[in-house]
Amino acid sequence: MRGVCTCDADGTNWRSYRKNNTGLASDIVLSIDVDYAGYVWAGTDAGLSCLNPALGVCDYNYYVDNSGLFSDRICAIEVDPYGNRWFGTQVGVSELVNEGPSLYGGAVTPDTGDRTTVFVYSVHYSDPECEGPTRIFANIDGTNYDMALVDGDYCDGTWECSTTLDAGSGHSFSFGAVEADWNTVSDGPYSGPTVSAAPYSPDPYEPDNTCTGATLLPTDGTWLDEHNLEPPGDVDWFAFDAEYNITYVIDVEDDSDPDFAGNVYLYDLGDPCPGALLRQDLGGDSAHIVFPCLVTGRYYIKVEQANPAEMGAYKIRVYGPQWPMVQRDLERAGTAVGSGPATTNLLWIYTIPDDIITTAPVVDGQGNVYFGTAENSLFAVATDGTLKWSYHTPDAVCATPALTYDEKILFGTEGGQLYALNSDGTLAWVYNGALGSAIHAGVTVNRVENYTVYFGADNGTLYAVNSDGTAKWQYSTPVPDEISGTIMVGELENVYFGGGCGTFYVLFPDGTLAWSYNSGLADNRMAAAMATDGSIYFGTSTRRFCCVEPPAPPDMPTSGTLRWEVIMPDSVYSVPVIAPDGTVFFGCDDGIIYSMGQHSTATTIVYDVGAPIRSALVMDGAGRIYFGADSNRYYCITQAGALVWETEDVNEPPAFSCAIDRSGTFYWAKPDGKLVTYNDMAAPDIVGPASDCWSPTFANASTVPIVVGFSSWDVGARRTGVAYTELWYSCDGGPWTPSGLDAKLGTSGQFVFMPSAEGTYDFATVAYDNAGNAELGPAAAKTTTVFDTTVPTSLCDVQHYVVSREGINVDFTLQDDLSGPAKTRLWLRFNDGHWCYTGLEETGGSGTFVMTLPENENGSYYFMTQGVDNAENWEQVPSGASEPETWLIYDTVPPTSACTSPLEADAAPIAVSYTAGDTGSGVDYVSLWYTYNNDGSDLSSWRRYPATGVGTAGTIEFTPRAQSPWNEGPGQYLFASSAQDKCGNVEDFARAIGEGKVATTSYTPGLPTSTASSDAYTSSLPIRIDYTATDRSGMGIASVSLYYALEGQMELFTGLTDYGVDHGTFAYSGPAGNPLEDGIYRFRVEAHDKAGGVQNDGLGTCTVLLDRNAGTSRASGPAYSTGGIVPIEFTAWDDFSGVDTVSIFYRCAPGGW
C-alpha cells in the first residue's frame, strides 16, 4: 500500500518510491525483482513499472493497452540468465525479451603508416535498452586494448583507442563489448593497417659507437637526453673523469619512444681504451651503477639494447661530489686533484649575519657548498654565491657534513642527532641513537653501494647507520672519551678513529674491534691522516708527531705498532697532509710548517708564520699547501716553503680546513660568519649590487620602532656577493638622510628604526658588494611607513524616532588626517544600561551601519562609534560617562488623548480643548475629528479637521465650513481627538469614539455686525465711508451694502455692495445724474454672512455734513502805521456748516497777495 522502499546494506539511508513522487503505476506492489542492469521491476495491481534507482524515477510503465501483458495485475517477476524478463499476471505469463546491443563500423585510421605513426581504432556501440557496456575493447594483433567513449553516450556512442605498431603488413584487429547483463557482441575481424619501417634517427652525439669516439660526460649529475640506439645494433660510448676516493653513480633511464631495455657497462681506464670491465647492469628499462674510484683517471661507459634487433631511447648522467667530507676523502689525505688558486682573486663571499661558521665546507657535484653554524643551521650556497636553502635544527651544527653519491647531505648536531637531507633541503631521515651526546667529529660515509654512515659522539661511542637511517651497529670505547678527531675508512672498509684519552681504534666493517693503539698520551685529539700504505700519522698535545703502522694479516695482532715518533718544539694539533710522493706536511704550535719524508724521521722547516698552526692542511694538484694560523690569516705556500699568498688579518684564527673543487675554486670559512671563495680565473666585478626593502605600511606609538626588512643581491656577469647594506630615509618628502643605524652584513636582515615624530617615512637601502661596488644612492622610496600616533575622530547620526526595529541605518564619519580612516565599530546603550559592542564594523571614512533592534524592547537607544585609523590608533571604548553621539527612540505604542468643547456656541471658531500623553517618544501633534448633525455611529461621517494641536495640551479652534462639499453651518457637532507621537504611532480615533471620548457642541451662530466711519464734514463728492464687518457664524462675510438718508428723509440704498470682504471703503456721490445736495447725511452699512444672517443691530452708521458753499468775511485796519504790530480786525459768517477758520492774506504794493 506504500510503494517501494530501499535502504543501504547496513540498514541506513532509507528511500521510498511512490506513485506521487516517481510515477509508479500504483502504490500497491505485488511483486518485485532487479535485472542485470540494476533496474527495479515492480509489479502492481494497476500495471508494471521499471524504476531507475540512479535517477529515482520510473522510466517506463507497461499496461495491457501498451504492451503484451495479459493483465495489469502483476503477481510475479523473474529475470532469466539471458536477461529476459518474465511476468506472471492474473490471467497469464508474459515475456519481455532482452534486446542485446550492437557493435558496428569498426575501423582504423590511417590505413598506412610507419612505426612512429599513432593508429586510432574506433567502433560504434548502440544499445536500445540503454543498459550500458561494462567494457568495450579492441583486439589488435591478439592483444586487448580498452577503449574510451569519445562521442555520444553510453547508450549510443563512438569508442576509440590508439597505439603504435611494428613494421609489417600482417596486422589485424576486431572489437568486442560486454553489456551490463553480460550479453556480449563483437565486430570484425579486420585486416590492416600496413606499417613500414620509419627512417632511423641517430642522436646528435654520433659517431659514438667506439670508445675512442665516446661522449665526455660531466660528473655534476646533469642528464644528457636525446640518446637513441638506432639503427638496430647501435651502441653508444661515454667517458667521464673520476677522482681518487670519490664514489660516483651512473644512471640510465628510458626516454620516450622507442622503449629502452638495455645493458650498461662500466670499463676501467686503459690505453688503448677501454680497460677491464668493472661493473654492469643488464636488461632493464633503467640502469644504476655505483662506482667508488680508487685511481684518478678517465673511465668509459657502453650502452646497448639487450636485444640488438630492437632500438631504444634513453638519457644518462654521472654524479659524484667534488669535496664530499672534511679533508676530502676517507683517508683524510687532504689532497685535491685540481689546482687551487695561486692568488686571492675573489670569486664571491657569502655572509651569515650574527652567526659563526662551525664546520669545514664540503662541495657537491654541481659546485654547491654546505656548512654548519653555531645558530643551529646547515646552509647550502649555490655556485654563484647565493643562498640555495638553509635547514634549521634544535642544536648547533659542529660536525662537518658529508655528501653521498645519491645526493644526500649528512651532518650531526650538538644534541646528538644525525640528519640526512635531500638535495633540495628537505628532510630524508633523522637518526636519534646518540641523542643527548654531542657530535663533533666530521661525518664519514664509506665507498660501497648502500653506504654506511659513521659518526662519533662525546659519549665515546662510534655509530654506524645504514643509508636509510636505521641503526647498523655501534661501538663504545672501553674508557668513554670524546670522539672529536677524524674518522677514516681504509681500502678494506675498516673504520679508524681516535679518542681523547690517547687510544686509536680500528674496527672491522661489522663493528668488531680489529686492533687498537694506545699512545699513552691522555691529552690527544688523534687528528690523523692515512697514507696509501695504511700508515697513520697524527700529532699530540704533548709535542709528539707519530706514525703508527697497522699489523699485517693474516696474523692481525690486537695492537698496531708505533713506527716512530718525533718530539716537536710545541704541541701538534693540525691534521697533516700527505703528498703523492709520501712526504708528510704538518703544522706545529711553534708557528712552523714541517715536512718529513715517507721513510724518514727527520723534520724540515718549510715555512714559519710566527703563530700556532692548528687548522688541517690541504694540498692541491699543483702541490701548493693551504692552511690557517693563529696569526688570524690563511696561507698558501709551496712545498719548498715559498709564500704564494696570505690573507689580511681576519681578527680571529681560521679554525677549519678549506675545500678545493674541480674548477680550482678555494673555499674557506672566516670566523665572522663569512664563507670566502677564490678562483684565479674569476673576472673582476665592476657592477654594483641591488637591494630592496619593506616595512609596515603604518606604525603607531605601540608598534615602533619600525622594522625595515631588506634583501640584497649582487648583479652583473661577475658577482662577488653582497658585503653589507645601509638604510636611508626621508620624512614627509624631505631630503634623503642616512639612518645612522649600523650597516647590516649579508643578503637579508632587518633594520630597527625609531622615528622622531609623526609623518610619512620613505625608506631605501643601499647595498655594497665584496668588490667595493655600491648600489646607486636612493632616488625613490622602496618602501613607505606612515607613523601616526593621533587617534582618529568618529561621529554617527541616526533617525531619532522609529517604529520598526529592522533596517535601522546609523550613518557615520571617520576623520584621520595622516594614516587615514580604517574602520569604525558601533556601540550601543539601551536606556540607562551599559555600553556594549554591536558586533558591527564598517571600513572607510563614511558609511552606514544597518542593524536590527531587540524585539519588544521599546525605549531609548544611544549610539557611539569607535574608530581606528590605518596605523591602528583606536578611539577609546565608550564607558558609562561617555556622552552619546546620537540617539533614537524605538516606540510601537500609540499615544492617547481626550478633548472637550462647550456645550453651546453662538460664534465660531469653537474652542476644542485637548490633552494628550505618550510614554515613549512623546506627543508630536493632535488631530481633531468631528461629525456634523450626526450621532457619530457611522465612522465614515467623521471628518478630520485641517488644523492640529501641538504638545500634550492645547486648544484647536474649529470653524464650520459652509462651502461645498462640507456645507456646514448651525447644528450639532461631535468632536474626538487623535494623537500622533514622534515615532509616527497614531491613536485610533475610532477606538476613542467607541470608548466615549467624544465632546458635543450645539452651534447656533449670531448675526453679523459692522462699523462705519467717515469725515464729519466734507465740501466735495464723493463721500468716502470706511467699514469693517464682523462675522459671528464662523462662515465668513458674504457681502456688505451701503445705505443713506438725508436728514429728516427716508433711508435709501446707494446701490453699492462689496462681496466676500469684511472691510473696505465705499465712495458715494449720489444717484446717477443727480449728485447729492448740501445737507446732513446718515450712512449705514449692512453686513450679510455666508450662513444667511443679516445684520440687524443698528450699528455700522456714521453722519456726514455736505457743504459746498464757501463762507463770507470782512477785514479792517489802520490806514497808516509806523511799524510794529498792525491790528487787523475781521468778521466772518456761514449760513450752513458754520465758520471753521479765517485766514489773512496781505501784499506790499506793488507785489502780489
What is the CATH classification number for the domain harbouring 606? 2.130.10.10
The Cβ of residue 703 has, within 10 Å, a number of other Cβ atoms equal to 14
For 479-515, how does the pLDDT look when each residue is reduced to its tens digit (9 = 90+)?
A: 777 887 889 998 889 999 987 677 889 999 999 999 8
- Residue 1073: per-residue pLDDT: 85
pLDDT of residue 1120: 85
For 1039, the enclosing helix (H) or strand (E) is: strand 1037-1046
Q: Does residue 1134 lie in a domain region? A: no
Q: What percent of the residues of the chain are helix, what percent strand, and what percent coil, each to the nearest 5? A: 0, 50, 50
Q: Residue 747: give its domain's CATH number.
A: 2.60.40.730
400 closest CA partner among 575, 165, 544: 575
Is pLDDT above 70 for 37?
no
Indicate the number of domains in the chain: 8
pLDDT score, position 392: 97
The percent of residues in the chain predicted with pLDDT above 90, rounded, is 63
pLDDT attached to residue 641:
96
Instruction: Identify whether residues 586 and 666 lie together within a single domain.
Output: yes
Summarize pLDDT for 103-145 with one digit per residue, the tens.
Answer: 999 999 999 988 778 899 999 999 877 777 888 999 999 899 9
Ramachandran area for residue 508 (φ above 0: left; ψ -120 to 50: alpha; else beta): beta
Q: Is the domain of 500 the same as that of 623?
A: yes
Q: Are residues 763 and 624 in the same domain?
A: no
* 1117 domain residue, yes or no: no
Is 476 contained in some domain?
yes
* pLDDT at 157 (0 to 100): 94
**In a shared domain, residues 994 and 1018:** no
Give the pLDDT confidence score for residue 521 in this predicted structure: 67
* The last residue of a domain, from among 760, 787, 814: 787
Q: Does a structural domain hold residue 340?
A: no
Do residues 110 and 89 share a domain? no
The pLDDT of residue 556 is 55
The whole-number pLDDT of residue 283 equals 82
Output the average pLDDT for the chain: 90
pLDDT at 628: 95
Region 807-834: mean pLDDT is: 96
Distance of CA 604 to the CA centre of its chain: 69
- What residue numbers bound the domain in which 165 lies? 102-196
My answer on whether 400 and 531 are in the same domain is: yes
Render pLDDT for 943-980 as a digit per residue (tens, 0 to 9): 999 999 999 999 999 998 888 888 888 899 999 999 99
Which of 578, 593, 674 has its CA nearest to residue 628?
593
Looking at the structure, tell me whether residues 582 and 596 fall in a common domain.
yes
**Residue 61 CA: distances (Å) to CA of 1, 24, 428, 910:** 18, 8, 65, 86
Identify whether residues 748 and 766 lie together within a single domain.
yes
6-24 residue pLDDT tens: 887 777 777 788 888 888 8
Judgement on whether residues 622 and 657 belong to the same structural domain of the protein: yes
Task: Extract long-range pairs of 370-374: CB within 8 Å, 24+ residues apart.
Answer: 370/401, 370/403, 370/409, 370/411, 371/400, 371/401, 371/669, 371/675, 372/396, 372/397, 372/398, 372/399, 372/400, 372/401, 372/411, 373/397, 373/673, 374/398
Element (H, E) at 19: helix 19-22
**By three-state DSSP, how is residue 951 classified?**
coil
Give the global pTM: 0.62
Max mean pLDDT among 32-46, 67-81, 572-586 falls in 572-586
CATH of the domain at 1081: 2.60.40.3880
**Residue 125 falls inside a structural domain:** yes
> What pLDDT shows up at residue 159?
95
Domain's final residue, options 787, 820, 847: 787
Residue 174 confidence (pLDDT): 95
DSSP E strands, 64-171: 74-79, 85-89, 93-96, 102-109, 112-114, 119-126, 133-140, 143-146, 148-152, 156-163
What letters, b where the CB count within 10 A reaches 16 and e where it falls short, cover 594-607? bbbeeeeeebeebb
Clarify whether residues 420 and 521 are in a common domain: yes
Confirm whether 1129 is domain-assigned: no
Q: Are residues 464 and 539 in the same domain?
A: yes
Q: Is the pLDDT of residue 72 over 90?
A: no
CATH number at residue 947: 2.60.40.10
> Same domain for 1019 and 998?
no
Can you tell me the mean pLDDT for 790-803? 96
Phi and psi at 728, nearest 5°, equal -120, 160
User: Is position 718 within any domain?
Assistant: yes
pLDDT in tens, 431-454: 999 999 999 988 999 988 889 999
The one-letter amino acid code at 775 reads E
**Which residue among 770, 787, 804 closes a domain?**
787
Would you say residue 332 lies in a domain?
A: no
**CA separation for the pair 371, 502 (Å, rounded):** 29
- Could you report the per-residue pLDDT of 626-637, keeping only the tens digit for each? 999 999 999 999
Please give the Cα distance from 584 to 537 (Å, whole number): 8
Read off φ and ψ for residue 939, nearest 5 degrees. -65, -25
Question: Do residues 755 and 699 touch, judged by C-beta distance below 8 A?
Answer: yes
Q: Of 744, 351, 745, 722, whose CA–CA distance to 753 is shortest?
A: 744
Backbone conformation region of residue 141, classed left if phi is above 0, alpha if psi is from -120 to 50, else beta: left
> Strand, coil or helix: what is 64?
helix
